[in-house]
Amino acid sequence: MLAQILITTLQIISTFYLTIVLLRFLLQLARADFYNPICQFVVKATNPLLRPLRKIIPGWGGIDGAALVLAILIQAVTFLLILTALNGGFPAINPLTLLAWSVVTVLGLIIKIYFWSVLAVVLISWVAPGSAHPAIQLIAQLTEPVMRPVRNVMPALGGLDLSPIVVFLILNVLSVVVEHMAASVGLGSIGIGL
C-alpha cells in the first residue's frame, strides 16, 4: 500500500513537471510570446535544470534540444524510481529499454498536450472569442503550428473552421501509434497514462 501511494505521488509530481518542461519545448517551437506571464512561470520553473544542460546540449534550428533531453531524463528517472519502489531495490534494467520507455511516454504526453490545447481553443472560440487573456493567447500560439498546415489545405467553409476536427483525427491516429509503440517496447502497467 505504501509503495502504491509513493508511486502515485511520484507519477503526479513527475508528470506535472514533465508537462511544464514539454510546454517550454513546445512554446519555443511555436515561437510563443515569452513576455506572457504564464511563459515567464514556465521559464522560471525550468531554468534551474535547463541551464546546465544547455551548456552541453545546444539548440538547433529553433528546437530546444536541452528541454527535450531533460524531459526524457525526468521520465527515465521516474521509471527507475517506480521500478525501485516496486522491486524493493534498484532494478536491473537495460538502459536502452529505459530510454525507449521514456521516449514513448514523452511522445504520448506531447500528443495529450496538443489534444487538450486544441480542445481548449475550440471551446474558447465558442465561449470567449477574441479574448485577450494571457492563457487564451498562449494556447492559441501553442496550437497554431499544428492548426496552420491543416487550415492551409482545408480553408474555412462559410466561416466554420473544420481544421480542429482534422487535427483531432490526426492526434488520435498518432495516439494509437504511440500506444502500439509502447506495447512493442514492453511498456505495460508502469507507463504513465498513455
Residue 163 pLDDT grade (very low, low, confident, very high; cuts 50, 70, 90): confident
Which pLDDT does position 194 carry in this prediction? 43
What nine digits make up the cell of 27? 512554446
Tell me the percentage of the chain whose pLDDT exceeds 90: 52
Give the DSSP letter of residue 91.
-
Is-above-0.85 flag for pTM?
yes
pLDDT digits over 47-97, tens only?
999 999 988 988 787 788 899 999 999 999 999 888 888 777 777 788 898
**How far is 56 from 190, CA to CA, in rounded Å?**
30
Mean pLDDT to the nearest integer, 19-34: 91
**How far is 102 from 89, CA to CA, in rounded Å?**
20
CA–CA distances in Å: residue 65 to residues 12, 76, 103, 104, 140? 24, 16, 13, 17, 23
Mean pLDDT to the nearest integer, 98-118: 94
Tell me the percentage of the chain whose pLDDT exceeds 70: 96
Which pLDDT does position 99 carry in this prediction? 93
**How far is 185 from 182, CA to CA, in rounded Å?**
5
